[in-house]
């Protein structure tokens, strides 16, 4: 409906202008609202509580995961809160509708051995092929495991995010918030080799020496695509291909799984939960607490090994 499209666009404009929502967030909200609009005979402006409950019931019958249902309901809460706040409606039909229960599933995990195999495979390919694509993939994976960045943050890093010979990067994350994330020597080395190759490629094409000044390019991982940088989907494909060569099933591997491995392995080796929260860019410690199962196992092991009565 044309009236639905107008309201959705107004809502998305507000999110972008006033809340600084990312493009991915805007696309997710747009998908959820468009799905509702296309799967009901009632205009969004005229929706009642019963209409929304009926829509959620259909999602459940279709076998849509509880987490996805909850996300769609969250979108509707924000949307109708916006309409109420703008006096477009004099009520909020989502009030009183409970979210479906979601069990707290632990994230998929990669062992340290699996990550080592993945990194070794990337390093071997980069050394043997020595082309820009293999060097780029090696740099991407080393950076991902060294920093735990969200995949969108990683592929859209600008040149300015990396300072020459400095062991950290500047990241602009969710809500346009900036944070400083340290990286290890392996990531720095892989990134330096990739940067040199990218610089040399620019020189062969008659471009300026300084990467940061290359005409029309501002991304650390540039691409010819519409966004100007490597997409998250393409990186995920490349990661799965590399994982298969390293003996890891594609179903076990994604950029997000490597991010989980970063957090899990840090905690397993004694990192503080607050420090991991800051590096992951979580605004609330409760989001990071999904990893407390690692802390619990470490504490249990500590008590068993170090407590004076444990041997007794």
Q: Is 282 a catalytic site residue?
A: yes
Candidates 136, 138, 240, 259; catalytic one: 259
Maximum CA pair distance of the chain? 75
The catalytically annotated residue of 35, 77, 174, 293 is 174
**What DSSP designation does 309 have?**
T
Measure the CA–CA gap between 36 and 52, rounded to whole angstroms. 9
Q: Which of 72, 136, 138, 150 is catalytic?
A: 150
Determine the Cα–Cα distance for residues 218 and 149; give it in Å rounded to an integer: 19
Rounded-to-integer distance, Cα 144 and Cα 150, Å: 8
User: How many Cβ atoms sit within 10 Å of the Cβ of residue 139?
Assistant: 25
Helix, strand counts (H, E) of the chain? 13, 2
72 in catalytic set: no
Cα 103 from Cα 71, distance rounded (Å): 14
One of 49, 172, 256, 293 is an active-site residue; which one?
Answer: 256
Token duo for residue 225: 């695509």
Contact 273, 285 (CB under 8 A): yes
150 is catalytic: yes
Q: What interhelical angle do 2-18 and 23-38 show, nearest 10?
A: 160
Question: Which residues have a catalytic role annotated?
Answer: 150, 174, 256, 259, 282, 291
């Amino acid at each position: 409906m044309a009236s639905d499209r107008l309201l959705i666009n107004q809502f998305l404009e507000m999110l972008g202008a006033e809340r600084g929502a990312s493009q991915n967030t805007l696309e997710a909200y747009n998908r959820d609202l468009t799905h509702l609009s296309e799967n009901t005979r009632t205009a969004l402006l005229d929706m009642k509580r019963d209409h929304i409950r009926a829509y959620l019931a259909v999602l459940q019958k279709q076998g849509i995961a509880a987490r996805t249902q909850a996300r769609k309901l969250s979108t509707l809460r924000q949307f109708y809160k916006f309409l109420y706040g703008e006096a477009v409606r004099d009520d909020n039909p989502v009030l009183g509708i409970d979210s479906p229960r979601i069990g707290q599933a632990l994230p998929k995990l990669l062992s340290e051995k699996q990550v080592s195999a993945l990194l070794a495979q990337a390093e071997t390919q980069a050394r043997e092929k020595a082309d820009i694509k293999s060097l780029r993939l090696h740099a991407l994976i080393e950076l991902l495991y060294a920093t735990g960045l969200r995949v969108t943050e990683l592929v859209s890093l600008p040149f300015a995010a990396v300072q020459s010979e400095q062991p950290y990067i500047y990241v602009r994350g969710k809500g346009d918030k900036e944070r400083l994330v340290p990286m290890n020597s392996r990531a720095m080395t892989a990134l330096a080799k990739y940067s040199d190759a990218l610089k040399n490629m620019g020189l062969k094409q008659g471009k300026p020496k300084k990467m940061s000044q290359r005409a029309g390019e501002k991304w650390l991982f540039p691409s010819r695509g519409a966004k100007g940088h490597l997409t998250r989907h393409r990186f995920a494909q490349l990661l799965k291909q590399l994982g298969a060569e390293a003996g890891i099933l594609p179903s076990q591997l994604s950029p997000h799984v490597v991010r989980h491995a970063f957090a899990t392995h840090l905690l397993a080796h004694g990192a503080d939960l607050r420090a991991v929260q800051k590096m992951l860019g979580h605004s609330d410690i409760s989001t990071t607490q999904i990893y407390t199962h690692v802390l619990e196992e470490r504490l249990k092991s500590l008590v068993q090994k170090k407590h004076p009565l444990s041997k007794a």
